[in-house]
Amino acid sequence: MSESLISARGLTKKFGDLVAVDGIDFDVSKGESFGLLGPNGAGKSTVMRMIGATSQRDAGVLTILGKDPDKHGPQIRAHLGVVPQQDNLDTELSVVENLYIYGRYFGLPRAFVKSKVEELVAFAQLEEKRNAKVQSLSGGMKRRLTIARALVSEPEILMLDEPTTGLDPQARHILWDRLFRLKEQGVTLVITTHFMDEAEQLCDRLIVMDKGKIMAEGSPSSLIKDYSTKEVLEVRFGSDRNQEVADSLRAMCQRIEELPDRFLMYTEDGESLLEKIYASGLHPKTSLVRRSSLEDVFLRLTGRTLIE
Amino acid sequence: MFIPMAVAIAEARMGKRGERFYSGRVPQLLERGFIVFRSSTWMIVLSGFVEPVLYLLSFGYGIGMLLPTIESGGESIKYAVFIAPALLATSAMNGAIYDSTMNVFFKLTHDRIYHGMLATSMGPLDVALGEIGWALLRGFSYASAFMVVVIPLGLIPSIWGILAIPAAVLIAFGFASCGMAITSYMKSFQQLEIVNMLLLPMFLFSGSFFPLSVFPQWLQFIANLLPLTHAINLVRGLCLGNINMALAGHAMYFVIMIICGLFFTTKRLNALFMK
């Protein structure tokens, strides 16, 4: 068993009557890439803030590198690099100044920070923008700068809250590439996301959260194996006909999910199920056979889709 | 085992008093102030220096022609000598208020800059003291620059006047810590206008341009509650060399403002960021 960097037992956070995090248990090991997957409002960001020692828990035990965040906030934050959901770069400063001053906030000596800044400008691929003010950067560049900024103190744990929300596909892939490199260097990543592809790409292990509770835990592939079938057949009959065919489809497949615009049919072999549907005289307008994803796991666990 | 430098630095402070709120990073926050000053805010600082000089030229010369001397503290002095200390105190107030309201409000809500700062190993008291420290530096430089202008003009009759510079810093400290405390409770930019609405009447009714004794009793009473009145009386007393116990009272007013302001600012920042 590898060393546990973060350990939560019965972790609870309330905001008035709302229980945002409802007595959850989890551990994050060294070098691991750990994900929190769930829809908006599931309590992911609250968990992140409690780990980041910027939010106090209401009950339970939380230790980060053996310390209690309620007692040793500054010491714990010194171990962490935080990439918040909403960019909070210093808009009055340039790219290099942002990196430099952030290192200084950790109390690091000037010479150390200066050499670190050069390394990070290269890492974030912002050499050409080094003296530009933050406002002139694109969304993807700002995100990369925020990640680079979080690395200035050489943290052991990098906390990423929805790192690619709002980015175009190309910018997302560049960012994922940067995060892979960090993982290779042994940085522990804690990532929240509501994108299943992101969770599948980046996370070794994840917890699926909904309404402040953990619904399931495991690696992306084991979760898919445990909570879904190998393949999924998606069929559309058009909104007016969906109701008529529902019963006949149900008879053909063990598990079926009815979404507003389509049916998801869970099966080991999508093609042969589709043939069966045609053979029964039904003709879907469109059909698609795909592999199960974490989206299907979430649907199974909660009866809802991740992005609503 | 490898210990990152940032961690070693934070661990070194473990067990110190108030370690959850304060990490001794005020110099780093001032460093940020200097970086921003170099690139953009020097214009604002310059205008803060020019303003009292313009007032002094306009009123000191203009009204000074009509009213060659004025009675203050039992002696008659030149009008410009009367208003110069008031302008010094007022510019200390204005600079401190600008830094601790507008500036802080934007960083707090619009750009969320404090959120970023507090994700490091700093605490809310570092941020509060850093911002206020910057306001003090400005107060100090305004006061010094103003002195450089008015001393050669013979407008500071007493040698005690040199203490007007530390007095201006004290005044800036009081206004900055209260300004920041008030700003941290503000929800919108419009609410911030309230602060500006209060500043102008305070400037007009604090005895800047004429002695308070011309007012009826009730108005004098109100004027004596205003912080700027105490600021002006303190600076004027020093510049004119009227040293007495009342000056200690005026200074005390600002010490209390500082303590209350810092208390509420830290409490509020903690509530905002550590919820």
Is there a contact between B119 and A91 if contact means CB atoms under 8 Å apart? Answer: no
Cβ count within 10 A of residue A187: 19
Nearest CA in chain A to B15: A72
Answer yes or no: is B11 within a domain: no
B contacts of A54 (beta carbons < 8 Å): 118-119, 273-274
Ranges in chain A annotated CATH 3.30.70: 229-291
Answer yes or no: is B105 within a domain: yes
Model pLDDT for residues B52-71, shown as the tens digit of each residue: 888 888 888 888 888 878 88
Answer yes or no: is B207 within a domain: yes
Rg of chain B, C-alpha, whole Å: 20
Is there a contact between B120 and A77 if contact means CB atoms under 8 Å apart? Answer: yes
Which burial class, exposed, middle or buried, applies to B78 when counting CB atoms under 10 A from its CB (0-12, 13-18, 19+)? middle
Pairing of strands A157-161, A80-83: parallel
Is there a contact between A105 and B111 if contact means CB atoms under 8 Å apart? Answer: no
What pLDDT shows up at residue B275? 67
| CATH label, A229-291, candidates 2.30.110, 3.30.1490, 3.30.70, 1.20.1630 | 3.30.70
Provide CB contacts within 8 A for A20, sequence distance 6+.
Answer: A13, A14, A43, A46, A212
Q: Using beta carbons and an 8 Å cutoff, which residues of B are at the interface with A?
A: 4-7, 9-11, 13-14, 19-20, 23-25, 28, 31-32, 35-36, 39-40, 111-113, 115-123, 273-275
- pLDDT (tens place) for every residue of chain A, 308 residues total: 457 899 999 999 999 889 999 999 999 999 999 999 988 888 998 999 999 988 889 999 999 999 999 888 899 999 999 999 888 999 989 999 999 999 999 999 999 999 999 999 998 999 999 999 999 999 889 999 999 999 999 999 999 998 888 888 888 888 899 899 899 999 999 999 888 888 888 999 999 999 999 999 999 989 998 988 889 999 998 877 777 888 888 888 888 888 888 899 999 999 999 999 898 888 888 899 999 888 888 888 887 766 55
What pLDDT shows up at residue A280? 87
Answer yes or no: is B265 within a domain: yes
Domain count, chain B: 1
Ranges in chain A annotated CATH 3.40.50.300: 4-219
Q: Which two tokens stand for residue A244?
A: 């008529």
Measured CA to CA in angstroms, residue B234 lies from A246, B154, B207, B226, B238 at distances of 86, 19, 12, 13, 6
Provide CB contacts within 8 A for A241, sequence distance 6+.
Answer: none
CATH superfamily of A4-219: P-loop containing nucleotide triphosphate hydrolases (3.40.50.300)
Q: Find the CB nearest B9 among A52, A89, A106.
A: A106
Q: Is A154 on the interface with B (CB under 8 A)?
A: yes
Domain span at residue B258 reads 23-273
ipTM of the complex: 0.83
User: Which of B121, B126, B127 to mutate to probe the A interface, most A CBs <10 Å?
Assistant: B121
User: Which of B7, B26, B122 to mutate to probe the A interface, most A CBs <10 Å?
Assistant: B7
Evaluate whether A297 touches A224 at the Cβ level (below 8 Å): yes
Look at chain B and count its residues: 275
Q: Find the CB nearest B111 among A88, A97, A155.
A: A88
Which burial class, exposed, middle or buried, applies to A106 when counting CB atoms under 10 A from its CB (0-12, 13-18, 19+)? buried
- For the residues B73-95, what does the mean pLDDT come to? 87
